[in-house]
Amino acid sequence: MASDVAFGIVGGGMIGAVQAAAIEQISGAKLVAVCGRDEARTAEFAAKFGCTAYTDYERFLHHPELQIVNICTPSGTHAELGIRAAESGKHVLTEKPIETTLEKADALIAACDRAGVKLGVIFQSRFLPAVQRIKQAIDEGRLGKLMLGDALVKWYRAPEYYAPGTWRGTLKMDGGGALINQAIHTVDLLRWMMGPAESAFAMKAALRYPHIEAEDTLVGTVKFQNGALGVVQATTSAKPGFKRRLEISGERGSIILDGDAISVWAIDGEDANLGEAEQLTDGSANPAAISNEGHRRQIEDMMHAVIENRAPMIDGREGRKSLELVVALYAAANEGKLVTLN
């Protein structure tokens, strides 16, 4: 019998714990190591999940069993850590976004290509049954010509989330605010469903938390290459916080995703079958409230990508696409003009 695929997590915080719990649920996977800066917290994490604790990244990378490095650190560190992992011959699975800039994302992709290792980017919402059902309907042409797509993320974060001294809301480590951190999951779904974007315009502001460097609120519009239009709303200032919403309209009808469940299925000639609801806990008001189910499915896909020597479902180039749209929306807001994507 083949041995289990060995994972190691960099970053023993909230999302690291979500991924560790997900790995525990996957047959054929095991967590062998965790690396963090805080020795006591990292030791506590390792004791909880039964793995080896490291505070030195190079020593972590040389763990004798380690095959896949899961990067669960601030966004602005993903490329640096991922490149070092790739150069050590390890496969890389990084949390979203792939990085804070396209240049750093491209450097990570190139490093993994050179090393011949797999690179995956976490966008666990794509693995949810309701999302895959919507994608299938669009790909089969059942909505007809696409006309409008909206990604609406009206979440709330308490003041301590942006406490001074944290990395959140900083341009260097977070890359921005509500758009790139919270809304990027739904923006990724919008881009996946609607296709490549042609141009974007946006406005942004720090309304509830004016002390942060980035935005807590952004509103943008998108024109897609297929001629369809779209709206992006991203905020962490909408108290008490609401489920994210994805709305797709075509010439033959509309589909709406509320949270992780379909709330509207209105297509000509089809029953309004919403499917089996899988409403998982989300992060609309509390970032620690997310389910690990999407992560479990995506980490399992990464495991099989390594075993089968194939690309993961969301590889580096695919994970870059949502960042490209996010960067365009930020550029449009900063420059006050329409931005054309390459």
- Termini Cα distance of the chain: 48
Structural domain includes residue 298: yes
Structural domain includes residue 62: yes
> Could you tell me where the DSSP H helices lie in 50-146?
57-61, 78-87, 102-115, 129-139
Over residues 140-181, the pLDDT tens digits come to 999 999 999 999 999 999 999 999 888 999 999 999 999 999
Using alpha carbons only, give the angle 297, 302, 306 rounded to the nearest 5 degrees: 145
Mean pLDDT of 61-80: 98
Q: Are residue 183 and residue 330 in the same domain, yes or no?
A: yes
Q: How many CB atoms lie within 10 A of CB 86?
A: 24
How far is residue 38's CA from residue 12's CA, in Å, rounded to a whole number?
9
SS3 of residue 313 by DSSP: coil
Structural domain includes residue 84: yes
Q: What rounded mean pLDDT belongs to the chain? A: 95
Tell whether omega for the bond before 64 is within 30 degrees of 0, i.e. cis: no
Q: Are residue 331 and residue 309 in the same domain, yes or no?
A: no
How far is residue 272's CA from residue 269's CA, in Å, rounded to a whole number?
10
Q: Are residue 252 and residue 191 in the same domain, yes or no?
A: yes
Q: Are residue 94 and residue 152 in the same domain, yes or no?
A: no
Residues of the chain with pLDDT > 90, as a percent, come to 92
Structural domain includes residue 132: yes
CATH of the domain at 92: 3.40.50.720
Contact 47, 39 (CB under 8 A): no
Q: Is residue 130 scored above 70 in pLDDT? A: yes
CATH of the domain at 203: 3.30.360.10
Find, among 285, 282, 195, the residue nearest to 240 by Cα: 285
Q: Is residue 223 scored above 70 in pLDDT? A: yes
Which uninterrupted H or E stretch holds 321? Answer: helix 316-335
Contact 222, 325 (CB under 8 A): yes
How far is residue 41's CA from residue 43's CA, in Å, rounded to a whole number?
5
Over residues 75-116, the pLDDT tens digits come to 999 999 999 999 999 999 999 999 999 999 999 999 999 999
The residues, ordered by sequence, that sit 6+ positions from 82 with a Cβ below 8 Å of its Cβ are 69, 71, 92, 94, 108, 111, 112, 119
Band of pLDDT at residue 1, cut at 50, 70 and 90: very low
Over residues 5-15, the pLDDT tens digits come to 999 999 999 99
Q: Are residue 86 and residue 136 in the same domain, yes or no?
A: no
Q: Is residue 65 scored above 70 in pLDDT? A: yes
Range of 14's domain? Answer: 5-124+294-315
SS3 of residue 202 by DSSP: strand
Number of domains composing the chain: 2
Structural domain includes residue 225: yes
Q: Are residue 11 and residue 145 in the same domain, yes or no?
A: no
Contact 327, 102 (CB under 8 A): yes
Find, among 68, 67, 77, the residue nearest to 37 by Cα: 77
Q: Are residue 136 and residue 89 in the same domain, yes or no?
A: no
Q: Are residue 117 and residue 132 in the same domain, yes or no?
A: no
Q: Is residue 192 scored above 60 in pLDDT? A: yes
How far CA 60 is from CA of 11, 66, 84, 87, 142, in Å, comes to 12, 8, 11, 13, 49
> What is the pLDDT, as a whole number, of residue 288?
63
Residues of the chain with pLDDT > 70, as a percent, come to 96
The more confident residue out of 67 and 285 is 67
Q: Are residue 175 and residue 305 in the same domain, yes or no?
A: no
Q: Are residue 60 and residue 151 in the same domain, yes or no?
A: no
Using alpha carbons only, give the angle 142, 340, 169 rounded to the nearest 5 degrees: 95
How far is residue 108's CA from residue 114's CA, in Å, rounded to a whole number?
10
One-letter identity of residue 56: D
Structural domain includes residue 139: yes
> What is the pLDDT, as a whole number, of residue 279?
53
The more confident residue out of 267 and 288 is 267
Q: Are residue 29 and residue 149 in the same domain, yes or no?
A: no
Over residues 279-295, the pLDDT tens digits come to 555 777 676 667 889 99
How far is residue 282's CA from residue 243's CA, in Å, rounded to a whole number?
7
Q: Is residue 272 scored above 70 in pLDDT? A: yes
Q: Are residue 331 and residue 212 in the same domain, yes or no?
A: yes
Mean pLDDT of 7-34: 97
> What is the pLDDT, as a whole number, of residue 276?
64
